[in-house]
């Protein structure tokens, strides 16, 4: 066989097929060489870019360390100068000195809060830029970002940053989450839109009272103290876990709620038709749920709520609907009202809920504001209880920079408290017109803007 192949080879080499085959092999080798050269060039370019970014990270960290140290020294100097000014006046008028001490302390505290919030926002912005650069060249490394977080937090802690009691929240983590949610970088240094300002409040405003008021059971006593218990939905019971619930003592219709999150509700329309296995499964699942599911830093005030189960009266069943009003309160004043009308409808597949919503201003004038996917084709008349509901909302919101006070209204006469919502839609409301977000942002004044 080999002898025959050798005899035929000279003849084969004279044929066009041999020349074609040789040409294809030559072109294939040239393409392989070209691909390898391009791959080597790309790897060199990526490696070079990675080195440049690592150098940039180190330079930024060094610059931020210098900036933090300088700010620290400036604040110490201000405190020192203020103290000397007071000491020079000792013995002249003790009342004046006490007043000066208080005024200087308040002024320095305000400067500290504003100055440190600027620094923390700066750290957040620069970390986001670095992360975006790493992502763009395919060299994003979670370890690198975590290293920046730890470096920034250590520097801030070294300065004694404990403003508003919420220093440990990772503003950079919120920034990356915000970027994923809305497709835009978050500006915490100079927030302008309502969504941006709500993220600022998550990072810099105290969450202790917000934790109490987000707890669906603990908030009831606070509301009773503020406006009276007659505005509370009748309560049938409170339990630490599902096993403690005595369904035999429950009425035919009621609502079960877990107290430590949102959308952990179970409406029982007819106790006799209740699927006990389904109820047990859901509440045992919710008992260990961490809310919000995409990270406690997204709504930090939920983090320390003790999970409990409450049973409340089911509103609006006999009437066929219940109207839910959300009063957007900016610095203690109602600026916007969103109404929700939920209908209990019966379809071929059984009973279901249908909801439409609408936006009015503080004087019940219809606005053009709409949210993506919102059904708002119907017009609604001003409820007879509107003034009373508005007053309730302003009483409950008076000590907060921003909060939504949610109220129920039945039969155009009865008012019930629903909840305090500090970050509607987790602080990323999706308006059909983005200009609305900026307009509402101008209405809200953050603490440093009020100084």
> Are both 249 and 374 inside the same structural domain?
no
Q: What percent of the chain has pLDDT over 90?
A: 35
Q: How far apart are CA 59 and CA 68, in angstroms?
A: 14
Residue 166: pLDDT band by 50, 70, 90 thresholds?
very low
pLDDT of residue 169 exceeding 50, the answer is no
The residue assigned the tokens 């002024």 is 107
> Are both 321 and 275 inside the same structural domain?
no
For residue 207, tell me if it sits in a domain.
no
pLDDT of residue 270 exceeding 80, the answer is yes
Q: What is the mean pLDDT of residues 143-160?
A: 50
> Are both 62 and 150 inside the same structural domain?
yes
> Are both 279 and 365 inside the same structural domain?
no
pTM equals 0.63
Residue where a domain stops, chosen among 293, 314, 335: 314
> Are both 74 and 165 inside the same structural domain?
yes
For residue 382, tell me if it sits in a domain.
yes
For residue 133, tell me if it sits in a domain.
yes
pLDDT of 125 reads: 55
Domain of 238, in residue numbers: 234-314
Give backbone dihedrals phi and psi of 408, rounded to 5 degrees, phi first: -100, 150
pLDDT of 165 reads: 35
Span of 1-15, 292-306, 367-381 with lowest mean pLDDT = 1-15
pLDDT of 32 reads: 76
Angle at 398 between CA 118 and CA 334, to 5 degrees: 95
Mean pLDDT value across the chain: 77
Residue where a domain stops, chosen among 314, 339, 373: 314
Residue 312: pLDDT band by 50, 70, 90 thresholds?
very high
pLDDT of 164 reads: 32
pLDDT of residue 152 exceeding 60, the answer is no
pLDDT tens digits along 65-99: 677 777 767 776 777 666 666 656 655 554 455 45
For residue 210, tell me if it sits in a domain.
no
pLDDT of residue 288 exceeding 50, the answer is yes
pLDDT of 373 reads: 79
pLDDT of 304 reads: 84
Span of 10-14, 142-146, 369-373 with lowest mean pLDDT = 142-146
The residue assigned the tokens 């509301």 is 223
Residue 379 makes CB contacts below 8 A (sequence gap 6+) with 358, 366
For the CA atoms of 115, 121, 126, 132, the dihedral, rounded to the nearest 10 degrees, stands at 180
For residue 299, tell me if it sits in a domain.
yes
155 or 191: which leads in pLDDT: 191
Residue 51: pLDDT band by 50, 70, 90 thresholds?
confident
pLDDT of 67 reads: 76
Question: How many domains does the structure of the chain reveal?
Answer: 4
pLDDT tens digits along 382-418: 989 999 999 999 999 999 999 999 999 887 788 999 9
Residue 136 makes CB contacts below 8 A (sequence gap 6+) with none
For residue 209, tell me if it sits in a domain.
no
> Are both 423 and 326 inside the same structural domain?
yes
pLDDT tens digits along 426-442: 999 999 999 999 999 99
For residue 223, tell me if it sits in a domain.
no
In the structure encoding, which two tokens stand for residue 63, read together?
Answer: 């610059």
> Are both 99 and 179 inside the same structural domain?
yes
> Are both 53 and 186 inside the same structural domain?
yes
> Are both 353 and 330 inside the same structural domain?
yes
Q: What is the mean pLDDT of residues 101-116?
A: 50
Q: How far apart are CA 269 and CA 352, in angstroms?
A: 11
pLDDT of residue 113 exceeding 50, the answer is no
For residue 228, tell me if it sits in a domain.
no
> Are both 308 and 346 inside the same structural domain?
no
> Are both 142 and 276 inside the same structural domain?
no
> Are both 182 and 49 inside the same structural domain?
yes
Span of 255-259, 301-305, 404-408 with lowest mean pLDDT = 301-305
Q: What is the mean pLDDT of residues 256-285?
A: 89
pLDDT of 450 reads: 83
49 or 151: which leads in pLDDT: 49
pLDDT of 415 reads: 94
Query: Tell me, what CATH number does 443's domain have?
Result: 3.30.470
pLDDT of 36 reads: 77
Residue where a domain stops, chosen among 291, 314, 337: 314
């Amino acid at each position: 066989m080999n002898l025959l192949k050798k005899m035929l080879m000279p003849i084969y080499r004279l044929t066009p097929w041999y020349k074609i085959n040789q040409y294809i092999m030559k072109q294939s080798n040239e393409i392989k060489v070209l691909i390898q050269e391009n791959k080597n060039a790309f790897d060199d370019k990526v490696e070079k870019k990675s080195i440049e970014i690592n150098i940039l990270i180190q330079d930024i960290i060094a610059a931020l360390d210098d900036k933090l140290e300088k700010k620290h020294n400036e604040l110490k100097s201000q405190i020192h100068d203020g103290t000397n000014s007071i000491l020079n006046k000792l013995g002249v008028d003790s009342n004046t000195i006490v007043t000066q001490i208080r005024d200087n302390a308040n002024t320095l505290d305000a400067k500290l809060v504003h100055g440190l919030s600027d620094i923390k926002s700066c750290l957040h912005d620069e970390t986001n830029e670095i992360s975006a650069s790493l992502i763009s060249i395919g060299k994003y490394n979670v370890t690198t970002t975590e290293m920046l977080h730890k470096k920034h937090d250590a520097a801030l802690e070294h300065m004694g940053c404990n403003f508003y009691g919420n220093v440990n929240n990772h503003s950079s983590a919120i920034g990356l989450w915000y970027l994923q949610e809305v497709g835009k970088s978050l500006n915490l240094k100079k927030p302008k839109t309502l969504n941006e300002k709500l993220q600022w409040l998550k990072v810099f405003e105290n969450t202790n009272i917000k934790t109490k008021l987000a707890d669906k059971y603990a908030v009831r006593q606070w509301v009773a103290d503020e406006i009276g218990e007659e505005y509370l939905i009748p309560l049938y019971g409170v339990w630490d876990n599902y096993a403690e619930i005595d369904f035999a003592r429950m009425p035919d219709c009621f609502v079960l709620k877990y107290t430590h999150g949102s959308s952990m509700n179970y409406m029982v329309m007819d106790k006799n038709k209740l699927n006990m296995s389904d109820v047990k499964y859901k509440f045992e699942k919710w008992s260990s749920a961490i809310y919000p599911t995409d990270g406690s830093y997204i709504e930090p005030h939920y983090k320390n709520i003790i999970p409990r189960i409450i049973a409340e009266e089911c509103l609006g069943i006999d009437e066929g609907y219940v109207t839910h009003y959300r009063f957007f309160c900016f610095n203690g004043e109602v600026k916007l009202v969103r109404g929700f009308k939920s209908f209990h409808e019966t379809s071929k597949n059984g009973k279901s809920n249908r909801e439409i919503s609408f936006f009015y201003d503080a004087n019940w004038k219809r606005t053009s504001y709409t949210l993506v996917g919102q059904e708002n084709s119907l017009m609604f008349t001003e409820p007879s209880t509107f003034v009373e509901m508005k007053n309730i909302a302003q009483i409950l919101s008076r000590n907060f920079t921003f909060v939504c006070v949610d109220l129920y209204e039945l039969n155009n006469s009865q008012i019930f408290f629903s909840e305090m919502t500090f970050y509607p839609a987790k602080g990323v409301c999706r308006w059909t017109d983005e200009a609305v977000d900026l307009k509402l942002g101008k209405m809200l004044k953050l603490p440093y803007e009020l100084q």
